[in-house]
Amino acid sequence: MKTKDLIHDIINEAASLKAHAYKLAGNKFDAEDLLQETIIKAIRNQHLYHSEHANLRGWLYIIMRNLQRSTHKRITTHTAIEASQYESKADSNSGESRLLTDELHLQIESLPQEFSEPINYLSYGYSYLEISEKLSIPLGTVKVRIHRARRLLKKTIVTYNAIPDKSVS
């Protein structure tokens, strides 16, 4: 299929994609954004489309679904981070909670750098894959380092909790 024909066909599919975009996005504005992103991505990746193996509408639906999933994941992660920030601000009124949070951060900082870096990135909402790319280390190594960091922190926290409270008599 010629490039101009494919672009024309992609644009002609926009009407049928619009309803699907609304179904995925849930509102008009996000649906319009999703539709535009889908068309742009399809045109940019038109070299990957082979008309003899795939149906154009199906290919476009898959692009749209994948875009929606990645957008939803990104929004969910950022929302969770924002929520945790608000929760930590609400908890900061409690001196004990603040002390424990500070203590945890000190414990993370006291870990060897190979363990503290990945667990810090994880605490800021990065996925294992993103951490792997950021630190230029294999994905499996990231998983092992985070697991070991958690295990070390758990031992530290158990030791911290085992210290008797002298203020209670």
Contact 35, 21 (CB under 8 A): yes
- Which pTM does this prediction carry? 0.41
CA 24 vs CA 2, 72, 75, 124, 142: distances in Å: 30, 10, 14, 27, 33
Q: What is the pLDDT along the chain (169 residues), one digit of tens a residue?
A: 566 777 888 888 888 888 888 888 888 888 888 888 988 888 888 888 877 767 888 888 888 888 888 876 655 555 555 555 555 555 445 566 666 667 777 888 888 889 989 888 887 788 888 899 989 999 999 999 989 988 888 887 766 555 555 555 4
Number of H helices, E strands in the chain: 8, 0
Measured between alpha carbons, how far is 165 from 100 in angstroms, rounded to an integer? Answer: 14
| 8 A C-beta contact, residue 87 and residue 101 | no
CA distance 115 to 121: 11
Tokens of 85: 């920030």
